[in-house]
Amino acid sequence: MKKQVLWFGIVLLALAALPLLGGGASKGKARPFQAKSVGHITAEYLTADSYTYDFVMNGQATHLGKFELPLLGIQWLFPVEPPDPANISSGTLIAANGDSVNIHMEDYFHHFDDSIGAVLHGTYVITGGTGRFLNASGTGSYIAIVDVIHFNPPITTFSFDGTIVY
């Protein structure tokens, strides 16, 4: 009888510890994710064979509220040869309360519009975060419009649409 009680206690202790280890944690709920933001280049690094730049965007997103997204060391792959991406970047969306979402982005040159500038279509993958977004995941797409017609330096607007799981 003592062995059964001891065994039962060990099983209960193991089950209680699973959420702390991540094994019993819920995968979260898939929720719609949308964001609108505006960004600009903050630094440029031009060499003979590459162009890299730092970029910061500020916007509003579902589940995050107001956010800032600094993107450092974006690689602009030029000349763009479809189906290769034009820009590849990773960064962290930082909410006003300090919670964050890690994101990887790749966009592709779509076309040039004489009234607004370059139009890029992209995809993103959410790869974790902090606070309520710890272990977050998700995917989606975005459209970026680089307004080189009206602004010098150019201003880029983004519209994100997809899902986030947390």
| Domain of residue 45, CATH code | 2.40.350
How large is the average pLDDT for residues 72-81? 75
Domain range for 149? 26-165
Question: Could you tell me if residue 104 is inside a domain?
Answer: yes
How large is the average pLDDT for residues 6-26? 42
Question: Could you tell me if residue 11 is inside a domain?
Answer: no
Question: Could you tell me if residue 17 is inside a domain?
Answer: no
pLDDT at 6 over 80: no
Would the pTM of this model clear 0.85, i.e. be above it? no
Total count of domains within the chain: 1
Mean pLDDT taken over the chain: 83
Looking at residue 118, its pLDDT comes to: 87
Helix (H) or strand (E) holding 25: none
